Amino acid sequence: MNDILKIGLGFERLFFFLIIFLIMCHIMTCVWLISASFASETNEETSWLDDYAELSSNEKYLTSLYFAVTTITTVGYGDISGQNIIERIVSIILMLIGVLSFSFATGSLSSIMSNYDQANAKL
């Protein structure tokens, strides 16, 4: 990819992390939607999706993506949360995955910027 686009290794790594972030957001979004669907099929008490039942499938996906991004970035506004045991367990797992990946991404970004600064200082 370096040879084709003529970009530096640091930007290539940033692009790679962006792609991984988007894929992880999509997977977490799907898991969060599936957990709500599974909970409603097993006649659990309530689901986070009950408040959004009138939305279209695309809007439900967008709402779930919002939850995934706020979870991964550790912002977590709290407006969407697990309402039953299944969703709470899934939410805990997603939070752990989110904080680990966010920490890894922050460390990697720091490394990229440090290497970029060192390369520019040598010029």
Domains defined for the chain, CATH in brackets: 9-117 (1.10.287.70)
SS3 per-residue string spanning the chain: CHHHHCCCHHHHHHHHHHHHHHHHHHHHHHHHHHHHHHHHHCCCCCCHHHHHCCCCHHHHHHHHHHHHHHHHCCCCCCCCCCCCHHHHHHHHHHHHHHHHHHHHHHHHHHHHHHHHHHHHHHC
- What pLDDT does 38 receive? 81
More confident residue, 65 or 53: 65
At 70-111, the pLDDT tens digits run 988 888 888 888 888 888 999 999 999 888 888 888 887 788
More confident residue, 8 or 75: 75
0.85 exceeded by the pTM? no
- What pLDDT does 30 receive? 95
